[in-house]
Amino acid sequence: MGELLNGKRLLVTGVITDASIAFHVARLAQQEGAEVVLTGFGRLSLVERFANRLPKPAPVVELDVTNTEHLDTLADRVREHVDGLDGVVHSIGFAPQTALGGNFLNTPWEDVATALHVSAYSLKSLTMAVLPLLERGGSVVGMDFDASVAWPVYDWMGVAKAALESCARYLARDLGPKGVRVNLVAAGPIRTMAAKSIPGFEEFEATWTTRAPLGWDLKDPEPAARAVVALLSDWFPKTTGEIVHVDGGVHAMGG
């Protein structure tokens, strides 16, 4: 058992399978001494199955980030398992198929709105929902995908990630006085369930396997998870509004 997160109480969203970055965040966090609560959406039994595969089985709280009632009651429901929080992991993103795969010019606003709501605005709504539990301050860490350029097939999800990055900066500004840090980890592509739902995802694979100076393993979510755990710890006490790239160095390379 490590000590990096000893005594920390964490809420981790986004565990869908054991290939999810969020699953490995939860695993590493427990190994570093944290107490973890997960959230699940939709098939809770599936999330609970993977929660039981963690080093210590973790409780699962239902959360649809577009559901006002879920958000309004989240703090109380989390409090049934822990007496407060020291960290929150936002690993939530979704865009309808019409918003992906090269359909950028034809996507209707309703589908764009869904992508922005679930993938960007939810960082604010989730953070505010659990703010009463962050009495001692703490760390909010979101999962990002570099939004500084336009990627093939990523389309409106790329716009949503740009909104996520901006949202994190504004949250960092407004919550800093409360001792709450807000940072993002921009990970390279991982073959998760979410990634497989993106039409043309293989175009990302070619980019990373040929351009990452440190190399990149599309099947290994642990490097990104380690960065999240580090940002949840006390080792970055004055870092907020930051985007930490864990992508093998691709973001820094020219064409």
Which DSSP letter does residue 233 get? S
Is 16 part of any known ligand binding site? Answer: no
Place of tokens 């973790």: 58
* Angstrom distance (rounded) from CA 122 to CA 66: 7
Q: 């965040």: which residue's tokens?
A: 25
161 annotated to bind ligand: yes
Q: What is the DSSP secondary-structure string of 98-119?
A: GGSSS-GGG--HHHHHHHHIII
Q: Is 154 part of the annotated catalytic residue set?
A: yes
Helix (H, G, I), strand (E, B) or coil at 193: helix
- The answer to whether the CB of 245 falls within 8 A of the CB of 251 is yes
Is 92 annotated to bind a ligand? Reply is yes
243 belongs to an annotated ligand binding site: no
190 is in an annotated binding site: yes
> Tokens in use for 123?
């960082």
84 is in an annotated binding site: no
**Of residues 8, 124, 161, 238, which has the active-site annotation?**
161
Place of tokens 């001692």: 136
| Centroid of chain to Cα 83 | 23
> Was 20 annotated as part of a binding site?
yes
* CA distance linking residue 129 with residue 70, whole number of Å: 9
Instruction: Check residue 88 and report its DSSP letter.
Output: E
Of 85, 30, 80, whose CA–CA distance to 58 is shortest?
Answer: 30
Task: Spot the catalytic one: 56, 154, 219, 238.
Answer: 154
Characterize 165-202 residue by residue with b for buried, 16 or more Cβ atoms within 10 angstroms of its Cβ, and e for exposed: bebbeebbeebeeeebbbbbbbbbbbbbebeeebeebe
Q: Say whether 121 is catalytic.
A: no
**95 assigned to a ligand binding site:** yes
Q: Which residues are annotated as a binding site?
A: 14, 20-21, 64-65, 92, 95, 161, 190-194
Catalytic positions are 154, 161
Q: Which residues are annotated as a binding site for substrate?
A: 95
